Amino acid sequence: MMATTSQTQIIFPQSSSEQGYAFEYLLLRYFQQVRGSTIEHFSTYKHGKDKKWYQIDGLLVNDKRQLLEAKFYQKPVGCREIDPDERLQAAIAFDCDELLLVSLNGFKDDVRSWASSVSLPVRFVEWNEIREDVLESFEGTFTVLLDQVLLEETIATSFSHSKSKLSFSNQLVASSIAGFPEFSVYSDSIELWLRRLRRLADWQEQLTNGQFHYQNTLETVRLLPDKDSYLSLEEAWRIEDAFSGYAARTYGAVRETAQALRNLGGSAVLKAVVQEIHLSFQQDRRPDKRTGDSGVRDSLNALAFMALVQRPVQRGDGYTLTPLGWAYVRGDEPDDQIFRERLTEWLPFRYFRLAIEEYQVPLDKKSIIEWFQTQYAPYEPYARCLFNANKVDGLINWYKQLGF
């Protein structure tokens, strides 16, 4: 039976993409804390026994090994949303006994029909089937990791760690999701830091506890915090935040996008940049690759990560070259050295180079991904390793193309 009111509130992010991740965390924690399952993997990219990379929402172990696929949609989901054949391959690649499909709003007949035709068991779970169990098992305000928090005007306190407190400039105001009053919706950034709240005190302890080391290269002493990986908790969070939204693009594509924006006067909406790139191919009599909106948007975002472009502030605004961006495109060709210098300062690339050049991680995708996953492991699920196959491909290409 559907609950209409509840004393339980679950803090949720606002954007649809982040809501999907949040739902995965919530389900994994529920199956762990209420159903007694072990979480072998939270959401991650993992190399299967078939040598392919898979994005998985989670891997649970109880009396069976289950691959989780979670969908936070406002309507029933089917084969188009789930891509069940790919999920089945992933389940087999990780030796799972069952594919566990969980949906906020149910399933279409096509995916249920598909499930009846495959050899691996498929379990369907709708949120309403476990909703009462969740709400009755917890009372109060919780993050999607099912950590209880106390929200008092402008102060958030973790019940699990009384020293973990977070102050806000203004009193927090939540919105809701129609039909699901148990979800208290905040901006993505606020939800993220409330989810991290329990570990804030650990960040503080790392900053004040450790060993002093004299560094010959700098002729100074610095405090190396006590930590279980090469990354501190703060570094793991800062890298995660800086890497969010990045998608691989070749450096050549990024250069062409910057030139197109310059040709348009330094500010233009996405469609105009796409058209300008296609026009430049025609004028130069080069084969037109017909780069689409998504690819050009990724190139513009890459320029934004380097502080060469300002993203639109609101719908209808264009992408705009920054003063440094104008310096980058001032000549007949973009100044690669400016991009290289900015890239050197960008946290994900800085730590990528550190892994390669200081810790001798081989310059191959599998080794790099697994190294960073190992560094993030002590902080999961409070920090999320974003070094996946696509992003690492992009970093490797830039590393080679820009002569590091």
Give per-residue pLDDT as tens, 314-342. 888 899 999 999 999 999 899 999 999 99
Q: Say what the pLDDT of residue 290 is.
A: 64
pLDDT score of 283 more than 80: no
Instruction: Note whether 226 and 210 are within 8 A (CB).
Output: yes
Quick one: residue 288, left, alpha or beta (phi over 0 = left, psi -120 to 50 = alpha)? beta
> Distance between CA 308 and CA 288 in Å, rounded?
25
User: Could you read off the pLDDT of 245-269 as tens digits, one per residue?
Assistant: 999 999 999 999 999 999 999 999 9
Burial class (CB in 10 A: 0-12, 13-18, 19+), 63: exposed
Q: What is the dihedral of CA 81, 86, 87, 88, to 10 degrees?
A: 130
SS3 387: coil
pLDDT value at 205 more than 90: no
Q: Where are the alpha helices (DSSP H) in 197-319?
A: 200-208, 233-243, 251-263, 270-283, 293-305
Q: Per-residue pLDDT for 226 more than 80?
A: no
As given in the structure block, the two tokens for residue 103 are: 């949906």
The pLDDT value recorded for residue 228 is 78
Distance CA 363, CA 291 (A): 28
Pairing of strands 44-47, 38-41: unpaired
Rounded distance, CA 90 to CA 51, Å? 11
Which pLDDT does position 356 carry in this prediction? 96
Kindly state the tokens that stand for 187. Answer: 């901006």
Confidence of residue 6 (pLDDT cuts 50, 70, 90): low
The DSSP-derived string for 151-198 is EETTEEEESS-TT-EEE-SS----EEETTEEEEEE--HHHHHHHHHGG
Measured distance CA(27)–CA(34) in Å, rounded:
10
Do the beta carbons of residue 115 and residue 91 sit within 8 Å?
no
pLDDT of 3 = 37
**What is the pLDDT, as a whole number, of residue 222?**
75
**pLDDT at 4 exceeding the cut of 50:** no
Token pair belonging to 345: 């300062």
- Residue 41 CB coordination number (10 Å): 18
